[in-house]
Structure 1
Amino acid sequence: MYKKIAALLPAILLLVSCAKDPSAISRTDVYSNLNYPKNTNELGGVLAAAYGNWRSMELDGFEMLCKDFAASEHTADVAYGGDQPWTDLTVNHPSATNSYVNDLWTGLYRGVKECNVFFDRADYYEKNYGGPDTHLAVEQMRGEAHFLRALYYLELECFYGEAYLNGTANADKMGVPIITSVANGIDSTQKARNAVGEVWAFIESELQTAATQLKGVSYDANNKGRVTEWAAKGLLAKAYVYTQNWAAAQPILEDVIQHSGKSLMPYAKYKDAFVAIAANEFNEESLFEINVDRNSAGGYGIFDQPLTNLTTSQGLIWAVTVIGDNGSENSPISLGYGNEYIHDANLKRFGFPQPLYTMIKNPKFDASKDSSVSNLPRIIDPAYKATSLANRTNGTVDPRLEVCALQPWIDSASLDGTNWRPIAKCSNIGSISLRDSHYGWSFRKYATFDNNIFNYGPAADGANYYILRLADIYLLYAETMMHQGNNTVALEYINKVHRRAYNKPVNTPDASVDYASLTAKTKAINDPVLGSNPLYYERWAELFNEGHWWFDVCRWRIGKSEAAYYGTSLVGGAIQWDDSRSYTWPIPSNELQRNTLMKQNPGND
């Protein structure tokens, strides 16, 4: 919740209830629900747990972006075949026993639980210790908790709900269980699934309440990571768009655009807004983000001291690869695990037109010395390199590819924070001959490339994760106005985002980069899904690797064409898309066993 969430360690509460006199039984290792909290600082500590849960191992701490989203939407291709549940995600065929299906469910519902604990403790505090002088502060915290609970439920519903609410259609299909109180026994954990319409109505109600309770609230520099009125309204508008309630979405989106004080950051900042640069955090475009601090308290990143760790470790998975000490791409070194690389098909989507690169003998190689990074025996074909650099300069390739990815032999990274060397193909693709048939580009967005990630913490990321930013709002507004029959405004807001990507004035029409229509040609090469759909393309390119595209694929029902476009995964083979089951993840088998009232999604029985 706070910029440095120091309050987190006392915030993960083990609530203890006892029928005996509390003075006769005293434990020092837990807080009791009979006497905690006694002031607003302690209540804030309870709320911190609901924020901090986003950095748990199952969510943005480790698995959510780099495995759940990246594999399902094919942002990444997985180069590690030793984890079958992960492989199953890459071919869009997870089962109810899939460990990641279970972990995500667990992590999101734990977040719901933390919010429910807060509401329970807020009621307790106001009844026993609060007064008129603290009521406003408590209401503000309640607003934050309503937002967080809505966010957890939005993710749950989009992953596990039987179908998206389509106006009024699908309202009676199976959503996820709505739980609003702390469990007080086994019986209270037996909860049937609410209807899809009920879940979305609950999400919207939570966000409406949050926006009201947070109206006009501002924070000092030490609290700028907390939820605001505009974050609540932005997520509310997204919920309306996701459920095709265009009339409700329009005024909320316009309110955020016109009155939040937010603006698209300039391209120079945008390019580095997804790496560990403190000056870029909580910027002029960000509506809500998850704070990440490199914590050097010891241990193994997110896997160590999970109750107090402020870091994340997703960067282990999409870690950058560089050439080896001998100057060869045949013995590359990963700055972490290096289990993933940018799926080759994504390069064409960004407009990258070149074939696989070729290597030549380095005319400057000194055979009297050992091969090394400073004495390269082979180099990339200079003509290929010149073309790649020209494509960046002249805009042939979407500039956001340079934001999201690192190109072998063109870009560089550091193993030690001081000495830099060229990027190589992903180290874990396999044999040299197999690497020769893949592009294997490294991730840049959210990746650690200024040092080996093990040198931080160790295994600690440093970049904050955006949950909601203004570019997303602009594109949601464009989609809304298109469905409201105002294609002119829709096109303009698509072009605003597009202009920023090309370092043009956002609000000034520019024929050199603007789309002329909503069906204009995009940068995507030979792409039947995105090639002539600027709205789809801009949401894909602008929000690449930020955890949005999977939901767009599902709500637009373009999964089959996406599967055909990507075709295969390196470790899983052919993508197994099935419209009857692939748009929704199965309910985890663990939940089905624990909760006798739970029903499975169709196609997963």
Structure 2
Amino acid sequence: MTKRIYTALALLVLGAGCAKDPSLVGPTNAYSTSNYPSTLDGLNSVLAPCYSNLRDPGLFGFHFLPKAISNSEHAVNSIYNGDASWNDMAAVNVSPTNEYVNEAWQVLFTGVKNCNVLLEGADLFTQHYAKSSDLPTVALIKGQAYFLRAYYYFELECLYGEDNVPSPSATDTLGVPIFNGVPTTLAQSQQPRSSIKNVWALIESDLQQAATLLKGQVWTGNDEGRVTDVAAEALLGKAYVFTKNYAAAKTMLSTVIGSGKGLVGYDTLRGEFIGITAYKFNRESLFELNIDQNSYGGYGVYSGAANSTTIMGLIWPPWALGSDGTEGNCTPMGYGNEIAHWKNVLRYGYKLGTYNLVANPNYNAAKGPSYNNPQEVMDPVYKAAALAARTNGTVDPRLYISMLQPWVDSVSPDGQHWYPVSRPNFEQGAGTYGWSIRKYTPVFNNINNVGPADDVNLHLLRMADVYLLYAEACANTGDPSDALEYINKVKRRAYGYPINSASPIDYASLTAATMAPDPSLANNPLYYERWAELFNEGQWWLDVCRWHLGPNEAAYYGSAYNVTTPLSWSDKSYVWPIPLNETNSNPLVANQQNPGY
């Protein structure tokens, strides 16, 4: 997110807004609502945690994607089985005591609280301190807070609201508690669950206000990562799709498409997901969380510094060939707890099977074995076929954005030399794939060498998502032609064709064959394109739940390393439970648990 807002304005001002004798001021551990914020800088400092909360260890700082979501949707296969909550995510069998269910709830509602504090602070500043020349800036600050509150509520409702219950017992089912102000009493802090109708109405209202307040604003320099009116319109269009208001979605998303934003080229897309600086905040980006590779003297988000970076790459880093040139001594560029689930390799259309190691015909015995002079290598015939598959269109090119192929791709574990990617030491031998995750992973250095710290911006909303949401809205408003065209635009980009012209790889219909071998995706280009394009970006789990694909997904993946029994599905899993901590501390939700928990 915005760089300046984290560095210059990272800490909240908690005491009174003027320097006085300590005995004459209020508590130093709370906002003084009578006189703070009294300046625009002070107001911006209250906005800072609305953004920085996204980096909390329980959200995008660490746990949410690699431990919770990527396991739930089986983008990854986890070898680590020492964390019961993590294992339950992979088994898609969570409980109200699950650590990551509880963390996400707490952090998302903290984000809501931070935004409410800002909005009240903006009103106080406007009433008591603002000059007329300050009001345009105040409007921009409020617009950002409205967007961020809507984003936090969007995630809360998708994860915990009863929207996706297959057979709801009432027309207006339960959403999450609504807080549109700062509680000042215990009673105000304990709200019952609202209806899904009211939660979505708040989300839509917030985004409409954000789009209005931010209209025409272009952020530059250190402010580059702040949200915009186009981001607000895009998330509003997404909310309309998720609530099946397809006519409104089509209108709103059409506005976003006409905004000047669009798809970048394949090479740019491939580069941005490994952190190449030149590709950050590009034309396709709508809402992007800025990540820098600076641990601020500590352990990423646990360093205590407000601007510290994320450390997701510890969990799903690539594996590099051993320095002696063997897979047996391979090393992860982080903890190495997860690799890509091998069924995802097949889903992208890779049909070459697995590989064998053979004697290296170019081995130089005088030099001795090393990563660039291994005694054994991937079968050259297999490698030639694997390289051909990258250019002949028989495999979806997004496979090579999402994953790293052993012996074909390379990484730099020491930041200087490039080693072949290896199968990990827990997945070797005949019949194993061993592909590493590439998207959002450290490929230029072992993450432990730099803090540890990530260096890849997180895309929370981008234009490919918008194109596919627009296609979904078109398909549901009697416009299959436009639906197919926008699905094909996304596919054309992946295959390197001009996006606005017909191409040899276009789908001929909304039921055409895809690369996927499974019933859910094999003849559904919209479903397949959302899975293939947004792989491991935290989107597919929401699609699985809203489209009720759970049984098919469990049957397709079949197993996970950290699950001791074959994967199965219960329809309660379309919605996460309200955490036990919440039902125990808030009597108004004690009897409002989601079905099945």
Give the shorter-chain TM-score range: over 0.9
Match of 2:383 among 382, 385, 388: 385
**Equivalent pair of 2:274/2:441 in contact (CA under 8 Å):** yes
Q: Determine if the alignment matches structure 1 residue 220 to structure 2 residue 220.
A: yes
In 2: Cα distance, 1:7 partner to 1:169 partner: 49
After TM superposition, the structure 1 = structure 2 runs for residues 137-148 of structure 1, keeping only pairs within 5 Å, are: 137-148=137-148
**Equivalent pair of 1:474/1:497 in contact (CA under 8 Å):** yes
**Equivalent pair of 1:163/1:170 in contact (CA under 8 Å):** no
* Match in the other structure for 2:76: 76
Cα deviation code 1:179-222 (max 9, x no counterpart): 11222232222111001111111111111111111112222222
In 2: Cα distance, 1:192 partner to 1:151 partner: 20
- The one-letter code sitting in structure 1 at the alignment partner of 2:423 is K
Q: Determine if the alignment matches structure 1 residue 263 to structure 2 residue 262.
A: yes
In 2: Cα distance, 1:581 partner to 1:72 partner: 14
Cα deviation code 1:323-354 (max 9, x no counterpart): 11221101210110111111110011100101
In 1: Cα distance, 2:130 partner to 2:22 partner: 22
- Alpha-carbon distance change, 134 to 206 in structure 1, aligned in 2, over 3 angstroms: same
* Match in the other structure for 2:160: 160
* Match in the other structure for 2:282: 283
In 2: Cα distance, 1:16 partner to 1:535 partner: 54
In 2: Cα distance, 1:518 partner to 1:86 partner: 36
- Alpha-carbon distance change, 575 to 143 in structure 1, aligned in 2, over 3 angstroms: farther
Is the partner of 1:175 in helix, strand or coil?
A: strand
**Equivalent pair of 2:26/2:32 in contact (CA under 8 Å):** no
After TM superposition, the structure 1 = structure 2 runs for residues 144-543 of structure 1, keeping only pairs within 5 Å, are: 144-164=144-164, 171-258=171-258, 260-309=259-308, 311-367=309-365, 370-427=368-425, 429=426, 436-456=430-450, 458-510=451-503, 512-524=504-516, 526-543=517-534
Tell me the CA shift for residue 417 of structure 1: 1.1
**Equivalent pair of 1:318/1:338 in contact (CA under 8 Å):** yes
Tell me the CA shift for residue 374 of structure 1: 3.0
- Alpha-carbon distance change, 94 to 600 in structure 1, aligned in 2, over 3 angstroms: farther
**Equivalent pair of 2:317/2:436 in contact (CA under 8 Å):** yes
In 1: Cα distance, 2:72 partner to 2:492 partner: 29
In 1: Cα distance, 2:189 partner to 2:306 partner: 24
Aligned-residue Cα RMSD (Å) equals: 2.2
Is the partner of 1:360 in helix, strand or coil?
A: strand
**Equivalent pair of 2:6/2:48 in contact (CA under 8 Å):** no
- Alpha-carbon distance change, 109 to 529 in structure 1, aligned in 2, over 3 angstroms: same
**Equivalent pair of 2:165/2:575 in contact (CA under 8 Å):** no
Is the partner of 1:341 in helix, strand or coil?
A: strand
In 2: Cα distance, 1:315 partner to 1:153 partner: 26
Tell me the CA shift for residue 27 of structure 1: 7.2
In 1: Cα distance, 2:570 partner to 2:37 partner: 49
Tell me the CA shift for residue 578 of structure 1: 3.8
* 469-478 or 579-588: bigger deviation: 579-588
- The one-letter code sitting in structure 1 at the alignment partner of 2:583 is L
- The one-letter code sitting in structure 2 at the alignment partner of 1:38 is S
- The one-letter code sitting in structure 1 at the alignment partner of 2:482 is V
* Match in the other structure for 2:571: 580
**Equivalent pair of 1:111/1:152 in contact (CA under 8 Å):** yes
Tell me the CA shift for residue 306 of structure 1: 4.4
Q: Determine if the alignment matches structure 1 residue 115 to structure 2 residue 107.
A: no
- The one-letter code sitting in structure 2 at the alignment partner of 1:548 is Q
In 2: Cα distance, 1:31 partner to 1:601 partner: 34
Tell me the CA shift for residue 436 of structure 1: 4.7
- Alpha-carbon distance change, 243 to 15 in structure 1, aligned in 2, over 3 angstroms: farther
**Equivalent pair of 2:164/2:546 in contact (CA under 8 Å):** yes
Tell me the CA shift for residue 125 of structure 1: 1.1
**Equivalent pair of 2:172/2:195 in contact (CA under 8 Å):** yes
Tell me the CA shift for residue 426 of structure 1: 2.8
In 2: Cα distance, 1:517 partner to 1:558 partner: 21
- Alpha-carbon distance change, 2 to 580 in structure 1, aligned in 2, over 3 angstroms: closer
Tell me the CA shift for residue 365 of structure 1: 2.9
- Alpha-carbon distance change, 379 to 421 in structure 1, aligned in 2, over 3 angstroms: same
Tell me the CA shift for residue 410 of structure 1: 0.7
**Equivalent pair of 1:350/1:541 in contact (CA under 8 Å):** yes
- Alpha-carbon distance change, 118 to 517 in structure 1, aligned in 2, over 3 angstroms: same
- The one-letter code sitting in structure 2 at the alignment partner of 1:589 is L
- Alpha-carbon distance change, 182 to 414 in structure 1, aligned in 2, over 3 angstroms: same
Name the count of aligned residue pairs.
594
Tell me the CA shift for residue 443 of structure 1: 1.1
- Alpha-carbon distance change, 42 to 25 in structure 1, aligned in 2, over 3 angstroms: closer
* Match in the other structure for 1:38: 38
Is the partner of 1:393 in helix, strand or coil?
A: coil
TM-score (norm: length of structure 1): 0.94
- Alpha-carbon distance change, 112 to 413 in structure 1, aligned in 2, over 3 angstroms: same
In 1: Cα distance, 2:26 partner to 2:180 partner: 30
**Equivalent pair of 1:165/1:197 in contact (CA under 8 Å):** no
- The one-letter code sitting in structure 1 at the alignment partner of 2:511 is T
Unaligned runs of 5+ residues in structure 2 are none
**Equivalent pair of 2:10/2:307 in contact (CA under 8 Å):** no
- Alpha-carbon distance change, 223 to 171 in structure 1, aligned in 2, over 3 angstroms: farther
In 1: Cα distance, 2:8 partner to 2:592 partner: 35
In 2: Cα distance, 1:169 partner to 1:261 partner: 44
- The one-letter code sitting in structure 2 at the alignment partner of 1:475 is L
**Equivalent pair of 2:13/2:45 in contact (CA under 8 Å):** no
Tell me the CA shift for residue 7 of structure 1: 4.6
**Equivalent pair of 2:289/2:458 in contact (CA under 8 Å):** yes
Q: Determine if the alignment matches structure 1 residue 563 to structure 2 residue 545.
A: no
- The one-letter code sitting in structure 1 at the alignment partner of 2:512 is A
In 1: Cα distance, 2:365 partner to 2:389 partner: 34
* Match in the other structure for 1:128: 128
- Alpha-carbon distance change, 542 to 272 in structure 1, aligned in 2, over 3 angstroms: same
- Alpha-carbon distance change, 171 to 228 in structure 1, aligned in 2, over 3 angstroms: farther
Tell me the CA shift for residue 268 of structure 1: 1.9
Is the partner of 2:377 in helix, strand or coil?
A: strand
Is the partner of 1:466 in helix, strand or coil?
A: strand
Unaligned runs of 5+ residues in structure 1 are none
Is the partner of 1:288 in helix, strand or coil?
A: strand
**Equivalent pair of 1:8/1:307 in contact (CA under 8 Å):** no
Tell me the CA shift for residue 58 of structure 1: 0.8
- Alpha-carbon distance change, 556 to 15 in structure 1, aligned in 2, over 3 angstroms: farther
Percent same amino acid among aligned pairs?
Answer: 47
In 1: Cα distance, 2:568 partner to 2:585 partner: 29
- Alpha-carbon distance change, 63 to 26 in structure 1, aligned in 2, over 3 angstroms: same
**Equivalent pair of 1:580/1:603 in contact (CA under 8 Å):** no
- Alpha-carbon distance change, 582 to 164 in structure 1, aligned in 2, over 3 angstroms: closer
Tell me the CA shift for residue 30 of structure 1: 6.8
**Equivalent pair of 1:170/1:196 in contact (CA under 8 Å):** no
TM-score (norm: length of structure 2): 0.95
In 1: Cα distance, 2:216 partner to 2:323 partner: 56
